[in-house]
Structure 1
Amino acid sequence: MRIVLIFSVTLLTILYGGSLRAQPWESADPASTGWSADGLKQAQTYAASLKPTAVMVVQDGKVIAAWGDISRKVNVASIRKSLLSALYGIAISEGRIKLGSTLAELGIDDKPLALTDAEKHATVRDLLMARSGIYHPAAYETVDMRRNRPGRGSKQPGSFWWYNNWDFNALGTIYRQQTGEDIFHSFAQRIAAPIGMEDFSARDGRYVAERQSKHSAYPFSLSARDAARFGQLFLNAGRWGDKQVIPAAWVRESTTAYSRTERGSMGYGYLWWTLNPKVFGPCAALASGYGGQAIAIVPSKRLVVVQIVDTAQNAKGMRTSHFINLLQRLAAAAP
């Protein structure tokens, strides 16, 4: 009976992604660690005015402050792309995906207007940088994405940055095709379990298909406390305890700016935004999603800041610029 029980628990962990090593966060007293009490209070007041579902502030791997329901799981929108980037880092290090592979070599196409030969010259790396030059309709697009999409064939692969859901969704197809793994089970086993996420299950992801494209979107739901673990993993250069979960070189490469963007001083790496180094110091980066979803890492302050917003409760959500303002206030208050 004992053997059957152990097997059943293990099987459930494999199938559903529940971590048997979920680890609660440790807390630290802000005053004793050198935080400005006034600065932290002002940041909390500012955050409260914007009505997020939860905010977590972590420094040196310990919770400095947490507001709202940090265990509530919310669709984190385009943060999904940074989560997938982490899986790519693992798959590339294992030789299962190659950055230089073209879409032609991978057999990637679309409907109802097939990709052109020129578009099929785009590489995996081009898609990770949002530089594919493929402006085909895509699933899970916003109205602005559809309205502002460049014309088909107007840019050559690799030559132009544009925030493009086609690239991001096709990367999901390529990941599943080349690894033979489901994205959500893969994330649960390869990332969530090793870093001790408390809430995430493979059932917290779903595929969204739309008739205009064969490539599905893959939204995730995360709690703030699990999102903070993901941020801490990147702040730790992909390491958790004695395990290198994501290659350190990939963390560095994916949070390096390869493109300037329409967001002013923000750049874009491999499915990660990069933050202004003059404001936040070197290597600061952001996983960002519609409505105010955010995971920020600020290495110069050894800081992770997470915000999630349930748009079912706060229909207007929050602008990215509001989160950047909050992040500046917290960085200023941090020792």
Structure 2
Amino acid sequence: MALPRSTPESQGVDSVGLCEWVQAADEQVDSMHSLMVLRNGQVIAEAWWKPESAEKPHILWSLSKSFTSTAVGLAVTEGKMSIDDRVLEFFPDQAPEQPSANLRAMRVRDLLTMSTGHQDPPSLGDDQPWVDSFLNQDVPHKPGTHFRYNTPATYMLSAIVQKVTGETVLDYLKPRLFDPLGISNPRWDESPQGISIGGYGLFLRTEDIAKFGQLYLQKGRWQGEQLIPEAWIELATTKQVSNGSNPDSDWDQGYAFQFWRCRHDAYRGDGKDGQFCVVLPDQQVVVAMTANSRDLQGQLNLVWEKLLPAIKPQPLPENPSGLARLKSAVADLEATR
């Protein structure tokens, strides 16, 4: 079930500007693997740097977190849990003998917003079950008051979803998200305890990432069906906690429910090495990117500097020469750096 394709100009985007973005990404990002741009639900540009390809799944790293958040939202919608449930309630047999007041106070909401109260994220290894490692970590801060990026917190969300549904996050999402979007054969690595890792470990194709972003842009609606409640989409993508004050950093614009807020009133799912699903509601644009990048801010800067100026409010006259230039630019991309 492929997304529809159309020319950039028919969707109000300048082909020449898109071409300049692709070329800049090729020259400046070390190294791009793929990109796809949607406007109004239409794919207007797509590129893969060899040996990557349209059909090749790519590791998402922490972009996986946004999918785990979606599973939480669906479980909440189905009445299986609440974001105000306390974390310890789900694991009575794995709790420390004398849990601290801060650990007892920690809620699902705090896992979602990376404000668990940890100073140092728990280390998950082979020495004990991952849930036990998390629950035995010191919680010096009051939950909800201290943002600290925390991949084990996302694992706990996955473990909670599995507790309340009896399925891994992967299996739970298949009929509710992956199948309706036409995402086939998703793979999600598991912990030694058989729980989807949640915070990373998901493998999808570039177009699958784009579909996920488009679903969120459409407030959870897909082909006439409301897959995710609009209220959850709004909650999950709105700033929930502050994480800095630098106006030039896309990592200081606030954090939502496993989504980052961006400049330009955008939001994104975000993974190590440059895995991005950027949603720009004001422009009705979705950008999916995979990479092995050393400069994530630089990679995002190109979206703002090159793509945004190419987006116009109305359709443009077709530009055959500009489109030919774009197609030529994406035809022979090589991962040479």
Instruction: Please give the range of the TM-score, normalised by the shorter of the 2 chains.
Output: 0.7 to 0.9
> For residues 167 and 106 of structure 2, what CA distance do their matches in structure 1 show?
23
Check the 8 A contact 2:168/2:195 in 1, yes or no: no
Q: Which runs of 5+ in 1 are unaligned?
A: 1-22, 141-150
Write the letter of the residue equivalent to 2:254.
G
| CA 242–261 in structure 1, closer or farther in 2 if over 3 Å, else same | same
Going from structure 1 to structure 2, the CA distance change for 1:326 and 1:62 (only over 3 Å counts) comes to same
Offset from partner CA, 1:186-206 (integer Å, 9 cap, x none): 222210111222xx324x111
Verify the 8 A CA contact 2:26 2:32 in the aligned structure 1.
yes
TM-score normalised to the size of structure 2? 0.79
Q: Which residue of 1 aligns with 2:315?
A: none
2:280 is aligned with 1:301 = no
TM-score (norm 1): 0.79
Post-superposition CA distance 1:158-195 (Å, at most 9, x none): 11111112211111111100111111112222101112
Aligned match for 1:71, one of 30, 55, 58: 55
Match of 2:8 in 1: 30
Equivalent residue of 2:2, what SS? coil
Paired residue type of 1:59: R
> Matched residues in 2 for 1:326 and 1:132: separation?
33
> Which residues of 2 match residues 6-21 of structure 1 at below 5 A?
none
1:275 partner amino acid: C
CA deviations 1:39-68 (Å, max 9, x no partner) are 211101112122321100011111110010
Match of 1:196 in 2: 182
AA aligned opposite 1:188: K
Whole-Å separation in 1 of the counterparts to 2:93 and 2:217 = 36
Alignment equivalent of 2:169, drawn from 168, 174, 183: 183
Aligned ranges for residues 1-335 of structure 1 at < 5 Å? 23-49=1-27, 50=29, 51-68=31-48, 69-107=53-91, 115-134=99-118, 135=120, 137-139=122-124, 152-197=138-183, 200-202=184-186, 204-209=187-192, 217-218=197-198, 219-262=201-244, 263=249, 264-276=251-263, 280-281=264-265, 284-309=266-291, 314=292, 317-328=293-304, 329-335=306-312
Once the 2 structures are TM-superposed, how far is the Cα of residue 109 of structure 1 from its aligned partner? 7.4
The residue number in structure 2 matching 1:148 is none
Contact 2:102-2:141 within 8 A present in 1 as well: no
* Pair 114,45 (structure 1): closer, same or farther in 2 beyond 3 Å: farther
Q: Give the 3 Å change call, closer, same or farther, for CA 119–31 of structure 1 in structure 2.
A: same
Cα distance, 1:266 vs structure 2: 2.2
- CA deviation digits over 1:279-330, x for unaligned, max 9? x24xx21000000000000011100000012xxxx5xx34321231122121
Q: Which ranges in structure 2 are unaligned for 5 or more consecutive residues?
A: 126-136, 313-337
Letter of the aligned partner of 1:138 in structure 2? S
Q: Provide the rounded CA distance (Å) in 2 between the counterparts of 1:82 and 1:113.
A: 33
Once residues 32 and 158 of structure 1 are traced to their aligned partners in structure 2, the CA distance between those partners, rounded to angstroms, is 46
Letter in 2 for 1:224: T
Whether the aligned pair in 1 keeps the contact of 2:35 and 2:287 (CA below 8 Å) is: yes
**Number of equivalenced pairs:** 286
Superposition CA RMSD, Å: 2.4
Take 2:149 and 2:92, find their aligned partners in 1: how far apart are those partners?
A: 20
Given that 1:235 and 1:302 are in contact with CA atoms closer than 8 Å, whether structure 2 keeps it comes out as yes
1:239 touches 1:246 (CA, 8 Å); kept in 2? yes
CA separation of 1:297 and 1:176: change in aligned 2, threshold 3 A: same
Mapped to 2, the partners of 1:78 and 1:332 lie a distance apart of 29
Question: 1:132, CA displacement in angstroms?
Answer: 1.2
